[in-house]
Amino acid sequence: MKTYFITGAAGFIGSNLAKRILTEEKNIRVIGLDSVNDYYDVKIKEYRLEELKKFENFVFIKGNLADKECVENIFKEYKPEIVVNLAAQAGVRYSITNPDAYIESNLIGFYNILECCRHYPVEHLVYASSSSVYGSNKKVPYSTDDKVDNPVSLYAATKKSNELLAHSYSKLYNIPSTGLRFFTVYGPAGRPDMAYFGFTNKLIAGETIKIFNYGNCKRDFTYIDDIVEGVIRVMKKAPEKKNGEDGLPIPPYAVYNIGNSNPENLLDFVNILQEELVRAGVLPKDYDFEAHKELVPMQAGDVPVTFADTTPLERDFGFKPSTSLRDGLRKFAEWYKEFYM
């Protein structure tokens, strides 16, 4: 029996990944860790966990990634072959007001995972990085070959730190590790702090939505099923262990972008979202959108564009995300209607 250990199992990507593995793979078990904190609506996290608890071969442990003893006990007891670290304090703006949460989860928590992979060897460590590591890079699309030494938020700095730590542990201890830079993930039962979800909540409440940079932002929106497909393909093909000419290990280390490679203008995105909310019956047909839109300047920590170069992902795994924004937002709107109304 193969054991997968997924951190952030009550989170958006973690829960979808766990469900896909549990549904499609035989003779496996999934160990899920999550602190189920209240950074956003706990009801959504509980909803995701209820879906996972239907599977007999799913084991859930409520705990904090920064609790070294808790993490070590999981490795000791379950001896996972594949570790997927998706637990993190997310969000660029929240990192300005609550930096402690990012240091604890994204740095100390990730260090605990690396130490356990060192002492309890694994086949592959896959971990979430972020498109935010590209900061205010002017060159687009963003390539994993680009220099990423100028983060514009603490969140981005912690994600870049994860990549550096993983590289050093790969080199020192020959741990196969792959970092995945995710680009604006969205979909049903997603994170309420993301723009599409927050806009929907505000429109229903009759509040005004703020569109930053006067609508001149572009985001590479990536549908959750595409993200999960990418993670699964990467997870099953660890970087190869080999030695260099000096006889020492070459770090079995890789980093990939997972994005749609099709940035959407924020105003176009809002128009598609409102059309799909009306279609799903979340908003009435005569809703006055113009009265509820406000164009405002850019916020601290934000960037004007995100755009993934996914050529290496296509080359190494034969995969490119392809879900259109309209299809993805339609599924979100239908889920929202069912969950909240």
Q: Which amino acid makes up residue 1? A: M
Amino acid at 109: G
Cα 35 from chain centre: 16
Contacts by 21-25, CB closer than 8 A, 24 or more apart: 21/232, 22/52, 22/55, 22/57, 22/58, 23/55
Cβ-based neighbour number of residue 183 at 10 Å: 25
* Segments in 174-214 forming alpha helices (H): 195-204
- Asked about 196 being catalytic, the answer comes back as no
Q: 220 and 263 in contact (C-beta within 8 Å)?
A: yes
Listed in sequence order, the residues at least 6 apart from 52 whose beta carbon sits closer than 8 Å to its beta carbon are 9, 15, 18, 19, 22, 30, 32, 58, 60
Residue position matching structure tokens 């002017």? 138
In this structure, which amino acid lies at residue 245? E
User: Do residues 124 and 131 touch, judged by C-beta distance below 8 A?
Assistant: no
User: How many whole angstroms separate alpha carbon 136 and alpha carbon 181?
Assistant: 15
Closest CA to 89 of 70, 123, 65: 65
> What residue has token string 């603490």?
154
Pull the structure tokens for residue 331.
């599924």
**How many angstroms from the chain centroid is the CA of residue 123?**
22
Give residue for tokens 């960037």. 303
Q: Which of 111, 155, 186, 336 is catalytic?
A: 155
Give CA–CA dist 258/272, Å, rounded: 23
Q: Which residues contact 50 (CB under 8 A, 6 or more apart)?
A: none
In contact, 1 and 22? CB cutoff 8 Å = no
Active-site residues, by number, are 155
